[in-house]
Structure 1
Amino acid sequence: MISAYLFALFSLCVPKNNFFISSGIKRIQNCPSSFTDVRLISNLFSCSFLISLCRFAEGAAGLMPTAPIMEPSDLITHKNGRQRKLVGNNLPFENMRDVDRGETSSPELEVEEEAEGLIRGSDSEDRRHRRGRPGIRGELGNVLLLLFLYVLQGIPLGLAGSIPLILQSKSVSYKDQAFFSFVFWPFSLKLFWAPLVDALYFRRFGRRKSWLVPTQYLLGLFMLYLSVTVNSLLQSETGPCVVTLTAVFFMLAFLAATQDIAVDGWALTMLSRENVGYASTCNSVGQTAGYFLGNVLFLALESADFCNKYLRIEPKDTGIVTLSDFLFFWGVVFLVSTTLVAVFKRENEQGKGKRKAPEETQGVMETYKLLFTIIKMPTVFTFCALLLTAKIGFSAADAVTGLKLVEAGVPKEQLALLAVPMVPLQILLPVVISKYTAGPRPLDVFYKAFPFRLLIGLEYALLVWWTPSVKQEGGFPIYYFAIVLLSYALHQVALYSMYVACMAFHAKVSDPLIGGTYMTLLNTVTNLGGNWPSTVALWMVDPLTSKECQGAAGQTCGSSEEAGLCVKEGGVCVTTLDGYYVESVVCVVIGLAWWVWLGKKMRRLQEQSPAAWRCRVNQ
């Protein structure tokens, strides 16, 4: 199986005579969109490219003014009321999970921490260590371990992201898709249990291993359980058992989010002070690589058409890898690797250049009180309300478009490979956009990009409507995929413009004394603002769709039971009005109304004084 993975990876890099499209996947941490979150996979190649340019060691110096986005941990670790930070953060803008970790630094914090170091006499000691420090080579083992742990974390996320595409190919209802979309919520909600992970642990076993080891064991056991039952869950007589699949994959996502919190915290003490900046690089590359393996590579190897066309000499009816095989393999990897880490890796190493992390943390209740105090502030409350409603206008395009393309006949593995041609754009966009958001009014960029993203949503609807008429006997022509890529590229420009602007504003207004907690809260709200509209958009597709029974008098197609009766009577259910198109128009109208009335209100928040954003506990 491993050789099959390696061969497939090689094949992705080799040009084919036939059209070979690399397409995007559904991102899990943030929204249940199988078309718009291709950026996770692109980030894998982007990170690798940038690392090679910067010699990997310069990963500690971020390219952007803020460290944005949804993917490394809601870790809240306080000492003496100040947020502990991860120095040298360089998290990519598209990984929305990354900002949820409370890793934002500020000049004030750096001065305070430096002062504490001088008082303890540690600064001179650090200078002595620097003169004789081994550099990254001396900690290569720790860096590789962190990278491996983040790769493991991305595997269940990628698998969960592939399930909606598999379900869609089995013609499940959009209400079922909406129910399954709750799987993607845990990474957006890590903030609510991160203080518990930080405060509760077995001292003798290790602060982070107390959570890392059991969560990874549970991940492995859940995967082994799924490897035995997943075929029956997907192929039962009454259709896929969506409730059970949702429950199991929700637990996988919850455990992966908890493991993320633990690994982020361990990274701060596993690496020496001068190398701690590699933690965010390991996170970005590792999570994205794991997501790539669990989503893009799996969907490609699971597809009989893809394997017969590109990897086999003699065609077969199944892919090289089945979902059951994939789950069993990674379940064993989780169990074996976790055992090795538990037995052989000591958490609190006090070697040369290592820092001993203080055990005192702000109490759990104090942390929750701090979050409540922040959100009660009038400016923050208003801003959060705007964030929770801003993405309603994009929900149909973001959550439903990819599934509609699969329904129209576009192979899911080709949608799962659209990312590769987008890599140059994914690399350049954050760098270019950050030049316009670095000033005092970053939300102006958000406001200007908003209507363009709404129009692209309408263009997506036209693309879905056009897709069936383009389909040929052997698939889709090259020009169709070129138009899909162009549409996605335009969408990415608008999406990145809004996202980078929003993250820049978060960094601008966050109270520096509690910057990590402040940023984590704002980004949690941002993530929720994308999750709930996507779930609702999926849920509403079926009720807004109209069907009629043709060929069987007196029969209707208002429900699955009625549709079954129509078929039994020799009729066929025909869609007269697709709810996706209704939703697309309604969402754009709602989005335009938000832009006209509430968008200006969001822009005016930039005019508030810094004192209006400062938490009262610090005044």
Structure 2
Amino acid sequence: MIKFINSKLQQIVKFFSFPPITMKNMNESSRRRTRKAYVQEPVLENDCFYPHIPLSANLLQDSSDEQEGAVHDGSLKGDYANIALLMFLYVLQGIPLGLAGSIPMLLSSRKVSYKEQALFSFVYWPFSMKLVWAPLVDSIYSSCFGRRKTWLVPTQYLIGIFMFTLSGHVTDVLGDSDSTAEVNILLLTCIFFMLNFLAATQDIAVDGWALTMLSRKNVGWASTCNSVGQTTGYFLGNVVFLALESAEFCNKYLRFEPQPVGILTLAGFLYFWGIVFFVTTTLVWILKKESDDLDMDPDQGIVNTYKTLYKVMKLPAVLSYCGILLTCKIGFAAADALTGLKLIEAGVRKETLALFAVPMVPLQIVLALVISKYTAGPRPLAVFLKAMPYRVLLGIIYALGVNWAYKVQVVPGEFPWYFYAVILCIYAIHQVFVYSMFVATMAFAAKISDPAIGGTYMTLLNTLSNLGGNWPSTLALWLVDSLTWKRCSSSGDSCNSPPDVQACKAAGGSCVTSIDGYYIESAFCVVVGLLWIKWKANKLRHLDTLGLSEWTCR
């Protein structure tokens, strides 16, 4: 049974890659021919308007058929405890990521402006920028303390400290202490930015430690630990938290007598996980010994790593592809960044949106298996080009869905079952195109990466891919308020600034939206996305046909 599960998981991740945060030794030509290159790429966020579940994937590359067979023989003897530890470390990593994904929904229910949501969206950026400090984590360490524990232990202690501290003040930060208090969005952003920065640093250390913690024949299981552990942590910090934090959900499904609050509070959740981080980090520090294996996890050095990145960046083909990665997601910015928040604004409960992620898990596994069959050939970007127009056009469907939400409510906040069924179906269709593009780009990156520097190559490409998704989403959130026009119901005057809102309330009226910037952005993004396809389609096809020599550092 274990062999069967292992083989299926290896099929799922075969065409994905995750750049190794540990940079490989490029100086020994003999290693280039025979040594494994364990490639890990940074966490990629699921491009959808529901919880940003990370898309993580790994690729174990080996030029030796004998070594390949050893990796896939399914024997875990001697590594059960190590796999359990790696899985748990990745679960810990997913907790702050999940919490960061749940905060925008909490902010939306507190009527925070979209410009403030845009400011908070910067908390997702650290995992898109790990490449900047990853060489430091790989090269600066104490030998007596342990190469990876030098960073893992203090990083996890700091995450615990942040969670402990925030648990005592989160009520004030979210403006829940009294009716006149406001959300301190700047402080909240700084705290979660640091939490995600620390989680990204922990990810670098754990990715590197996985190479030496597991025996060589089982090092491929690091991909499974990463994917399963991080997704589990994210699920706990996002879907489970939002459901149990909701009084409506708990009263409807988990209680016999209604209560005004949920089973969990954000303060209690942070306090609990702060304790878990402290206790488990101490146990790992004291009980788990670290061993070095320079063949599996060589120390290339800071200078050599940055030199390698510079050489890769100078390649004309890489420059063209980087431009594509940084701009290809403009066409989905409004749909990905705003649709979920607009549905909450329309009355859909945040915990309902969070629970939509549950049935998507088996769908995503099946999609990964099916789509990888079509991206395994010599032209993986053909799948990307076929999926992209449909994903762009789904922006119109999402906008219509948000508009329909206002009209189909039985009473405010209550929707008929068929509304949820339609939205769930649209979301599932959306996932087909999201995963088609995701798997295609991962397959293409694995195809073009120079095996001698696969880790550096993959880290660079996927950092740019993440940035290409982050900046359009942040910009879309920032501009939507400026593109929205509101009028006072009593006087008909403008209601677009805080003083106007106060004046309208004083006159006994309320602000009514006459033009929603979300629809303007949705239309703009669809047009830009279709024009981008027309502009860049031939360039993508050309890059897909280039030989490996065009992508190789000489």
Preserved contact between residue 62 and residue 88 of structure 1 (Cα < 8 Å): no
Structure-2 separation of matches of 1:304 and 1:216:
31
Match of 1:485 among 401, 424, 429: 424
Preserved contact between residue 487 and residue 514 of structure 2 (Cα < 8 Å): yes
Letter in 2 for 1:61: Q
Structure-1 separation of matches of 2:39 and 2:460:
21
CA gap of 1:89–1:160, structure 2 versus 1, over 3 A, is closer
Match of 2:153 among 213, 223, 230: 213
Which residue number in structure 2 is paired with residue 422 of structure 1?
A: 360
Which residue number in structure 2 is paired with residue 31 of structure 1?
A: none
Letter in 2 for 1:443: L
Letter in 1 for 2:143: R
Residue 168 in structure 1 maps to residue 94 in structure 2: no
Matches within 5 A, 1:593-612: 593-612=531-550
Structure-1 separation of matches of 2:3 and 2:394:
35
Matches within 5 A, 1:228-239: 228-235=168-175, 237-239=180-182
Residue 387 in structure 1 maps to residue 325 in structure 2: yes
Matches within 5 A, 1:480-519: 480-519=419-458
Write the deviation string for residues 399-418 of structure 1: whole angstroms up to 9, x where unpaired.
10000011111010010101
Among the aligned pairs, what percent are the same residue?
Answer: 56
Which residue number in structure 1 is paired with residue 142 of structure 2?
A: 202
Query: In structure 1, the residue corresponding to 2:261 is in which secondary structure?
Result: coil
Structure-1 separation of matches of 2:354 and 2:530:
31
Write the deviation string for residues 55-103 of structure 1: whole angstroms up to 9, x where unpaired.
544467334542246xx7533243636687565989999686645x8x6
Higher mean displacement: 273-282 or 169-178: 273-282
Letter in 2 for 1:184: Y
Write the deviation string for residues 156-215 of structure 1: whole angstroms up to 9, x where unpaired.
110111000000011100001111000001111111111110000011000000000000
Letter in 2 for 1:197: V
Structure-2 separation of matches of 1:585 and 1:564:
31
Match of 1:529 among 465, 468, 472: 468
Preserved contact between residue 227 and residue 327 of structure 1 (Cα < 8 Å): yes
Match of 2:387 among 449, 473, 476: 449
Letter in 2 for 1:249: F
Aligned-residue offset at 1:448 = 1.5
Write the deviation string for residues 554-610 of structure 1: whole angstroms up to 9, x where unpaired.
x43121222122212222111110000000000011111101111222112122232
Write the deviation string for residues 451-488 of structure 1: whole angstroms up to 9, x where unpaired.
11111111000000000111123721111111011101
Match of 2:263 among 310, 317, 320: 320
Preserved contact between residue 246 and residue 351 of structure 2 (Cα < 8 Å): yes
Matches within 5 A, 1:182-193: 182-193=122-133
Structure-2 separation of matches of 1:498 and 1:381:
20
Preserved contact between residue 36 and residue 60 of structure 2 (Cα < 8 Å): yes
Letter in 2 for 1:561: P
Match of 1:66 among 8, 15, 20: 15
Preserved contact between residue 172 and residue 239 of structure 1 (Cα < 8 Å): no
Structure-1 separation of matches of 2:310 and 2:418:
52
Structure-1 separation of matches of 2:173 and 2:499:
21
Aligned-residue offset at 1:305 = 0.4
Structure-1 separation of matches of 2:210 and 2:340:
36
TM-score with structure 1 setting the length: 0.82
Residue 541 in structure 1 maps to residue 480 in structure 2: yes
Matches within 5 A, 1:125-164: 135-164=75-104
Preserved contact between residue 62 and residue 89 of structure 1 (Cα < 8 Å): no
Which residue number in structure 1 is paired with residue 346 of structure 2?
A: 408
Structure-1 separation of matches of 2:479 and 2:21:
31
Match of 1:559 among 497, 504, 512: 497
Structure-2 separation of matches of 1:253 and 1:211:
15
Letter in 1 for 2:86: L
Write the deviation string for residues 98-125 of structure 1: whole angstroms up to 9, x where unpaired.
45x8x65253xx48x97xxxxxxxxxxx
Preserved contact between residue 122 and residue 189 of structure 2 (Cα < 8 Å): yes
TM-score with structure 2 setting the length: 0.91
Preserved contact between residue 157 and residue 278 of structure 2 (Cα < 8 Å): yes
CA gap of 1:582–1:60, structure 2 versus 1, over 3 A, is closer
Query: In structure 2, the residue corresponding to 1:246 is in which secondary structure?
Result: helix
Which residue number in structure 2 is paired with residue 20 of structure 1?
A: none
Cα RMSD for the two superposed structures: 2.7
Residue 75 in structure 1 maps to residue 22 in structure 2: yes
Preserved contact between residue 176 and residue 242 of structure 1 (Cα < 8 Å): yes
Aligned-residue offset at 1:233 = 0.6
CA gap of 1:450–1:61, structure 2 versus 1, over 3 A, is closer
Structure-1 separation of matches of 2:40 and 2:494:
58
CA gap of 1:539–1:447, structure 2 versus 1, over 3 A, is same
Which residue number in structure 1 is paired with residue 299 of structure 2?
A: 361
Structure-1 separation of matches of 2:41 and 2:520:
41
Structure-2 separation of matches of 1:80 and 1:368:
14
Aligned-residue offset at 1:356 = 6.5
Structure-2 separation of matches of 1:140 and 1:392:
44
List runs of 5+ in structure 1 lacking aligned partners.
1-51, 115-125, 350-354
Structure-1 separation of matches of 2:429 and 2:154:
43
Write the deviation string for residues 294-315 of structure 1: whole angstroms up to 9, x where unpaired.
1111111100000000000110
How many equivalent residue pairs? Answer: 538
Structure-2 separation of matches of 1:605 and 1:194:
28
Query: In structure 1, the residue corresponding to 2:471 is in which secondary structure?
Result: helix
Preserved contact between residue 173 and residue 188 of structure 2 (Cα < 8 Å): yes
Which residue number in structure 1 is paired with residue 244 of structure 2?
A: 301
Matches within 5 A, 1:1-40: none
Which residue number in structure 2 is paired with residue 343 of structure 1?
A: 286
Which residue number in structure 1 is paired with residue 50 of structure 2?
A: none
Match of 1:574 among 493, 508, 512: 512
Structure-2 separation of matches of 1:105 and 1:496:
22
Preserved contact between residue 20 and residue 456 of structure 2 (Cα < 8 Å): no
Aligned-residue offset at 1:276 = 1.7
List runs of 5+ in structure 2 lacking aligned partners.
47-52
Which residue number in structure 2 is paired with residue 278 of structure 1?
A: 221
Write the deviation string for residues 478-518 of structure 1: whole angstroms up to 9, x where unpaired.
11111011101111111111121111111111112212211
Match of 1:251 among 168, 185, 194: 194
Preserved contact between residue 37 and residue 62 of structure 2 (Cα < 8 Å): no
CA gap of 1:91–1:182, structure 2 versus 1, over 3 A, is closer
Preserved contact between residue 104 and residue 516 of structure 1 (Cα < 8 Å): no
Query: In structure 2, the residue corresponding to 1:171 is in which secondary structure?
Result: coil
Preserved contact between residue 37 and residue 454 of structure 2 (Cα < 8 Å): no
